[in-house]
């Protein structure tokens, strides 16, 4: 996906941008970039590949050449950025987070007949950030250009622009991702993750609303285009993607995950479906807080039968190759045999997407002597690939375990009844659960309900995007 950090101050902010951006490394593993503006030296920008080397290591040697009272940085899982753009709007640096589903159509519609040329990336695709800048440049000022770009884009786009007189920040049209402002005595910052600026001495100051555009200066911020009424913030931020100490719309990620696990256990106890197990465990790392909540409410002891080796292994779904993803997932899980052999275990994972890695984990647990393995997903069955954010590298909805199972059970006819399959209280829902359970080798399988997930998040459900589970806009 990606993350960003920007700062502007009466002093040099390069170190703030460096560390603030590095604190977004959990959001991507492909590209990192920084751009700074100094009143005497002008703009300076650097982009590095961070697939095999962390952002902090890659950029540490660049710090001596960076100076500026304003700067932005980004972690990108797609395009090299930030980009430096020169147009009738002046020279500026731009970074984006989101996805453009109609990128090719926009290129054909607006630029093919006007002699406009784009730098092709190694994939042959147009750099999405460059396309956004080109749309912005169609208008006479930045604010009008940003609004225009967001109106034309199918998907979502959050935008950060560094100019000679301030930083422009624009939250995507339906607020699917957060944009927060921090402030200290010397200036302001803007960030995807709030904890990034807390560690740098900034205090919470403001959270942008959907489609809101602000200009940030050392003195503060000004709303240039008001927030919209409709919001669809991504529920998966709390379920999986968000860092534990992050807060979105006032709800902390770790707290939500504890509550989510508690709700799952509560509902299982009420239905009389809680199995007799020795330990409740989380699939590390993001499944752990859900499991702690489940253990606390169920009265079953929490344990860590295997732990994740974190010093070198990035998120396993990031590599392009499924074989590489599987191998990375296998290599970073380190067992504790004394907590596995002869034990009945209930695991909670943040989600079950393709299921390939999970199947290998279960096989490993049985090979290590586990007596029973029960699995719980902290969210409902994923039925649709996300259209609005770059979450994973799935090429088709049919790569999703739930969709493959439906296809195997009923063929194309089953695809017309996905809502039933996603509901464990229906006959089709139970059939899918039993099929996955048998295929994966679980002794039992359960998914969090959509109502339970929304209860755990605790904000207005009409403001939350649940497309990946319901297929509803």
User: Given strand 155-163, what is the order of strands in its sheet?
Assistant: 83-87, 90-100, 155-163, 166-170, 213-217, 220-225
Which residues sit opposite 180 in a β-bridge?
Answer: 191, 207
Based on its alpha-carbon atoms, the radius of gyration of the chain, rounded to whole angstroms, reads 23
Cα dihedral across residues 363, 369, 371, 373: positive or negative: negative
- The CATH fold assigned to 251-470 is Rossmann fold (3.40.50)
- For strands 203-207 and 187-191, give the pairing: unpaired
Measured in degrees and rounded to the nearest 5, phi and psi for residue 181 equal -115, 135
CA distance 144 to 149: 9
Say whether 251-470 and 2-230 share the same fold.
no
CA distance 207 to 65: 32
Q: What are the angstrom distances between the C-alpha of 146 and each of 129, 187, 222, 345, 412?
A: 12, 24, 16, 51, 41
What is the value of pTM for the model shown? Answer: 0.90
Measured in degrees and rounded to the nearest 5, phi and psi for residue 401 equal -60, -45
pLDDT value for 394: 59
pLDDT value for 317: 44
* Total number of residues shown for the chain: 473
pLDDT value for 354: 85
Could you tell me which of 253, 137, 281 has the C-alpha nearest to residue 192?
Answer: 253
Q: Of all residues in the chain, what percent carry a pLDDT higher than 90?
A: 74
Q: Do 361 and 355 touch, CB atoms closer than 8 A? A: no
- In the three-class reduction of DSSP (H, G, I as helix; E, B as strand; rest coil), residue 378 is classed as coil
pLDDT value for 119: 59
User: Can you spell out the DSSP letters for 380-434?
Assistant: PPP-S--SSS-----S-GGGSHHHHHHHHHHGGGGGGGHHHHT-TTSHHHHHHHH
Query: How many C-beta neighbours within 10 Å does residue 363 have?
Result: 13
Q: Which residues contact 355 (CB under 8 A, 6 or more apart)?
A: 401, 436, 440
pLDDT value for 316: 44
Q: pLDDT tens for residues 52-104?
A: 788 889 999 899 999 999 999 999 988 899 999 999 999 999 999 999 999 88
Helix 253-271 to helix 287-298 angle (10° resolution) is 40
H or E, element range at 373: strand 372-377
Task: Count how many Cα atoms sit within 13 Å of the Cα of residue 284 in the half-sphere of its side chain.
Answer: 18
CA distance 182 to 193: 10
- Those residues of the chain that have pLDDT short of 70 are 112-124, 310-331, 391-395
Cα dihedral across residues 52, 26, 454, 262: positive or negative: positive
Structure tokens at 384: 């649709």
Q: Please say whether the structural domain 2-230 has been given the CATH code 3.60.20.10.
A: yes
CA distance 209 to 227: 5
CA distance 170 to 232: 15
Measured in degrees and rounded to the nearest 5, phi and psi for residue 382 equal -80, 120
Spans of all domains in the chain: 2-230, 251-470
Cα dihedral across residues 153, 156, 162, 163: positive or negative: positive
Cα dihedral across residues 15, 319, 155, 122: positive or negative: positive
CA distance 161 to 31: 18
Structure tokens at 357: 């890695």
Q: What are the angstrom distances between the C-alpha of 172 and each of 96, 254, 400?
A: 10, 24, 27
Task: Count how many Cα atoms sit within 13 Å of the Cα of residue 277 in the half-sphere of its side chain.
Answer: 29
Q: Which residue has the tokens 């590209």?
A: 31
């Amino acid at each position: 996906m990606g993350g960003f950090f920007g700062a502007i101050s009466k002093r040099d902010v390069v170190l703030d941008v460096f560390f603030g951006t590095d604190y977004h490394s959990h959001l991507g593993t492909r590209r990192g970039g920084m751009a700074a503006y100094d009143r005497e030296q002008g703009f300076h920008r650097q982009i590095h590949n961070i697939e095999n080397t962390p952002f902090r290591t890659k950029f540490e040697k660049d710090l001596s050449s960076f100076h500026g009272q304003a700067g932005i940085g980004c972690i990108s899982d797609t395009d090299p950025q930030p980009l430096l753009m020169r147009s009738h709007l002046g020279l500026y640096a731009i970074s984006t987070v989101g996805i453009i589903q109609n990128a090719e159509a926009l290129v054909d519609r607006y630029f093919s007949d006007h002699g406009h040329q784009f730098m092709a990336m190694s994939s042959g695709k147009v750099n999405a950030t460059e396309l956004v800048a080109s749309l912005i440049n169609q208008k006479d000022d930045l604010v009008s250009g940003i609004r225009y770009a967001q109106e034309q884009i199918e998907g979502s786009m959050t935008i950060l622009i560094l100019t000679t007189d301030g930083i422009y920040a624009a939250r995507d049209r339906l607020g699917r991702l957060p944009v927060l402002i921090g402030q200290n005595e010397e200036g302001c910052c803007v960030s995807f993750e709030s904890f990034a600026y807390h560690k740098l001495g900034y205090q919470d100051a403001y959270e942008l609303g959907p489609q809101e555009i602000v200009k940030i200066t050392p003195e503060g911020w000004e709303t240039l285009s008001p927030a919209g009424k409709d919001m669809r913030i991504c529920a998966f931020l709390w379920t999986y993607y968000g860092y534990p100490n992050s807060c979105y719309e006032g709800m902390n990620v770790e707290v939500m995950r504890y509550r989510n696990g508690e709700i799952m256990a509560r509902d299982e106890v009420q239905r009389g479906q809680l199995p007799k197990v020795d330990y409740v465990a989380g699939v590390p790392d993001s499944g752990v807080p859900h499991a702690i909540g489940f253990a606390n409410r169920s009265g079953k002891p929490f344990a860590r039968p295997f732990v994740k080796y974190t010093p070198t292994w990035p998120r396993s779904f990031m590599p392009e190759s499924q074989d590489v993803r599987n191998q990375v997932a296998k290599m970073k899980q380190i067992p504790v045999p004394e907590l596995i052999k002869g034990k009945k275990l209930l695991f909670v994972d943040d989600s079950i997407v393709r299921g390939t890695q999970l199947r290998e984990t279960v096989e490993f647990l049985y090979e290590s002597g586990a007596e029973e393995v029960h699995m719980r997903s902290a969210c409902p069955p994923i039925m649709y690939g996300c259209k609005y954010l770059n979450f994973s590298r799935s090429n088709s909805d049919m790569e999703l375990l739930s969709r493959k199972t439906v296809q195997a059970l009923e063929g194309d006819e089953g695809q017309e009844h996905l809502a039933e399959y996603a509901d464990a209280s229906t006959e089709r829902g139970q059939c899918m659960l039993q099929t996955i359970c048998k295929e994966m080798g679980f002794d039992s399988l359960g998914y969090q309900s959509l109502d339970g997930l929304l209860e755990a998040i605790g904000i207005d459900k009409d403001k939350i995007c649940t497309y990946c589970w319901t297929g509803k806009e």
